[in-house]
Amino acid sequence: MRNHSGVTVIELMIALAIIGVAFGALLMTQVSNLRASQNARLASDVKAAANRVLEQKMAEVLAVQIDDTKATPAGTTDQITNDNYVDAKNPDVLIFEKTGVWQSFWFTDYYWSCPSVVSSLPSSVRPYTTSGKLRTVDCSGSQTDGPIVTEWRVTGDTGVLGEGILDVVVTARHAKGMTVTVGNRVSCYDVYPSPSKSAPTPCPTPYDPVAGTGGGR
């Protein structure tokens, strides 16, 4: 009886040890799953915040204002205050089924102002505006949404050929350490509508290697 009882006690202890190990492994698995789920949720929240700001900045960079009150046929929309910041008057280009639609591209302001304002603008930049050619725009900034801080910046490409490229980069950081960076490259050719010609507004005048003029920033 003692031997039988002793074996039973040993077997019980072994069984309890096995159960303990199994529960310990199960607990570690659950903890790991919870951490992975939390990290995935944090990553999703941070990425969503970064994408929201990126979409907002893209909309600002690509914004176009028009004045078709002087177009043929004449319209009633005048978004260009006091005829300032006019990039194109389009006498021969059909826009919204009209010719002579005035356009003002916010791309121009960001491209020539970010990260710093170009002091000597080429004469081809806003040729219809004699003074105050550029609106004041913010080239960088930050937004806070609860535990997430989102920083953004807009930078004009300084390449010699001056194709007219803007980099829009957004970095979102969660208070718990999760960080996501997203970005987009915007070309002057992305601005709609744009006249079809060798240097479509608001693209910089192409670089002339002989004269050494033109190009971007």
Q: Taking residues 179-188, what's their average pLDDT?
A: 92
Nearest to 67 by CA among 39, 87, 49, 38: 87
Helices 106-113 + 2-61 axis angle, to 10: 110
User: Which residue type sits at 119?
Assistant: S
3 state DSSP class of 25? helix
Q: Taking residues 122-146, what's their average pLDDT?
A: 89
pLDDT tens per residue, range 40-60: 788 899 999 999 999 999 999
pLDDT tier, 212 (very low <50, low <70, confident <90, very high otherwise): confident
